[in-house]
Amino acid sequence: MRSVLVSKARRFNPPLSKLLHNPAMPRRLRHACAALLLAAGTAAAQGLPAEVEAALARGKLPRDAVVMLVAPAGGGAPRVAHRVDAPVNPASVAKLTTTFAALELLGPTYTWNTTVAVDGPVRDGVLQGNLYLKGQGDPKLVIERLWLLLRRVQGMGVRSISGDIVLDRSAFEVPAVDPGAFDGEPLRPYNAAPDALLVNFKSVVLHFTPEAGQARVQAEPALAGVQWPASIALASGECTDWRAGLRANFADPARPRFEGVFPAACGSLSWPLAFPQPASYAARAVAGTWQEMGGQLTGQVREGRMPSGARVAFEWPSLPLAEIVRDVNKFSNNVMAQQLFLTLSLQQRGKGTFEGSREIIRTWWTDRFGGEAPVMDNGSGLSRSERITARQLGQLLQAAWASPLMPELVSSLPAAGLDGTLRRGRRNVGLAHLKTGSLRDVAGVAGFVHGAQGRRYVVVALANHGNAVAIRPAIDALVEWTAREP
């Protein structure tokens, strides 16, 4: 039976492979051919390579806890197909679906515009009324870009505002969440919630610099109304779990305290953390930045809606989508991925909602690939309910390789041993561009491996198991085996 399947695959793959690259063929038919090749070759694909089997055995990771796929990026029968139809939690590998869908549905040059409006005239440097900032989901309105936006306001001759600065976040409709609900880590920046006016990822970076018997503390950005300790006592000893040694107390977010010590042996270090009162972050950051720039404000920074009668002063564009996708995938930024996800429904339906974006992804998948779509939740992989199969990931990656958007997607993936979430790897340097995924009980990668003879391969390897991290040596072995092109 196996020999018959191999014979059939050899007989039919060449003409189908040519069809895949025929620009005259409708896109949907080309992808149907690619899916047929992937499906037809699965039964003929060999089992897991011996070195991969050995790595799984050493890690005590059962074969039925992993899914693996290796197939030519340009289409064709798989070289490895192990449990390719088993739905698994992909963790951050889910970002591949979100980012490729966003590139196709929005376009690589898409930008998010933050609307800046006023409801009064400017006289002698004073805005006689309110300043409005209406967010449209910009995923990277970091503090430097907020400063530039406000500098543009000052360029309009505004030095003082007699009314309020009003923040309009109505473009997204998302439920309130407890930042510690997912994993009990509310201070981790990766747990930041999406927001139509997402400022600086709702995060703060604390810098600790030892000097003269104490460590100086510097917080960035400046948050209005928040008084950080100026210093913390130094301690002798090794630099081990120094964050725990700080004994940070955020019971009063406006008056954080450090009740512990900072090890002098650590030298200068930084601690990025999510602000413990995320709902107030945007207002504090805007007020703090305006004050640092010398701006004056008679009223307050508050939430509200931009009235229809307000005069639009300018639109502040974001970075283009292609650059945003690079940050999302290289550094596995969860909140940026959720901003992308919500933007899909904002653009098509006028309001960014998770359910609306799930429906859009399902429709896009069916139109693009046919068959059942992956189960999406928030688009970032920071979820226990998202599910996808290795076959589906293989279809997506092969379609991306044949797409005009291939350079944007592939360049956004971490390069093995060189950058992003794969920067610290010691093996396979430069051999692959892979999106990583990691949660408790989930670990894996999906992406492209560069063969020694110039061919490119789609590779998927995911584990769902209590010992999922043990898949990493097996992934290294699979990448090396794939690159050798036996």
The reply to whether 248 and 100 lie within a common domain is no
Residues 440 and 362 in one domain: yes
* Burial environment of residue 215 by CB neighbours within 10 A (0 to 12, 13 to 18, 19 or more): buried
CATH value at residue 286: 3.50.80.20
Instruction: Kindly report the pTM of this predicted structure.
Output: 0.90
Residue 119 lies in a domain: yes
Q: Are residues 285 and 306 in the same domain?
A: yes
- With respect to residue 34, please indicate whether it lies within any of the assigned structural domains: no
Query: Does residue 17 lie in a domain region?
Result: no
Ramachandran assignment for 225, one of left (phi > 0), alpha (psi -120 to 50 degrees), beta (any other): left
93 and 171 in a single domain? The answer is no
Any domain includes 408: yes
Do 313 and 415 share a domain, yes or no?
A: no
Q: Are residues 301 and 188 in the same domain?
A: yes
Q: Report the Cα–Cα distance between both ends of the chain, in Å, rounded.
A: 23
Structural domain tally of the chain? 2
Residue 186 and residue 305 share a domain: yes
What is the gyration radius of the CA atoms in the chain, in angstroms?
25
At 29 the pLDDT is 56
In a domain, 143, yes or no: yes
Residues 216 and 332 in one domain: no
Per-residue pLDDT, 28: 58
Give the residues across from 387 on adjacent strands.
375
* Domain hosting residue 452, numbered range: 50-109+320-484
CATH number, domain of 392, equals 3.40.710.10
How far is Cα 73 from Cα 10, in angstroms, rounded to an integer? 17
SS (H, E, C) the chain: CHHHHHHHHHHHHHHHHHHHCCCCCCHHHHHHHHHHHHHHHHCCCECCCHHHHHHHHHCCCCHHHEEEEEEECCCCCCCEEECCCCCECCHHHHHHHHHHHHHHHHCCCCCCEEEEEECCCEECCEECCCEEEECCCCCCECHHHHHHHHHHHHHCCCCEECCCEEEECCCECCCCCCCCCCCCCCCCHHHCCCCCCCEHHHEEEEEEEEECCEEEEEEECCCCCCCCCCEEEEECCCCCCHHHHHCEECCCCCCCEECCCEEHHHCCEEEEEECCCHHHHHHHHHHHHHHHCCCEECCCEEECCCCCCCEEEEEEECCCHHHHHHHHHHCCCHHHHHHHHHHHHHHHHCCECHHHHHHHHHHHHHHHHCCCCCECCCCCCCCCCCEECHHHHHHHHHHHHHCCCHHHHHHHCCECCCCHHHCCCCCCCCCEEEEEEEECCEEEEEEEEECCCCCEEEEEEEEECCCHHHHHHHHHHHHHHHHHCC
User: In a structure prediction context, what are the per-residue pLDDT tens digits for the chain, which is 486 residues long?
Assistant: 444 444 444 433 444 445 555 555 565 555 555 555 565 555 555 789 999 999 999 999 999 999 999 999 999 899 999 999 999 999 999 999 999 999 999 999 999 999 999 999 999 999 999 999 999 999 999 999 999 999 999 999 999 999 999 999 999 999 988 888 899 999 999 999 999 999 999 999 999 999 988 999 999 999 999 999 999 999 998 999 999 999 999 999 999 999 999 999 999 999 999 999 999 999 999 999 999 999 999 999 999 999 999 999 999 999 999 999 999 999 999 999 999 999 999 999 999 999 999 999 999 999 999 999 999 999 999 999 999 999 999 999 999 999 999 999 999 999 999 999 999 887 888 899 999 999 999 999 999 999 999 999 999 999 999 999 999 999 999 999 999 976
CA 389, chain centre distance (Å)? 20
On whether residue 164 sits in a domain, the answer given is yes
Could you tell me if 274 and 290 lie in one domain?
yes
- Rounded CA gap, 294 and 290, in Å? 7
Phi/psi of residue 293, nearest 5 degrees: -85, 0
Domain boundary among 270, 302, 318: 318
Pair (298, 349) in one structural domain: no
- What integer pLDDT is reported at residue 427 of this predicted model? 83
Do residue 460 and residue 439 come from a single domain? yes
Q: Are 281 and 301 in contact (CB under 8 A)?
A: no
Residue 26 lies inside a defined structural domain of this protein: no
In terms of domains, do 235 and 277 share one?
A: yes
Q: Does residue 22 belong to any structural domain of this protein? A: no
Structural domain ending residue among the three candidates 274, 297, 318: 318
Q: Domain boundary residue among 266, 297, 318?
A: 318
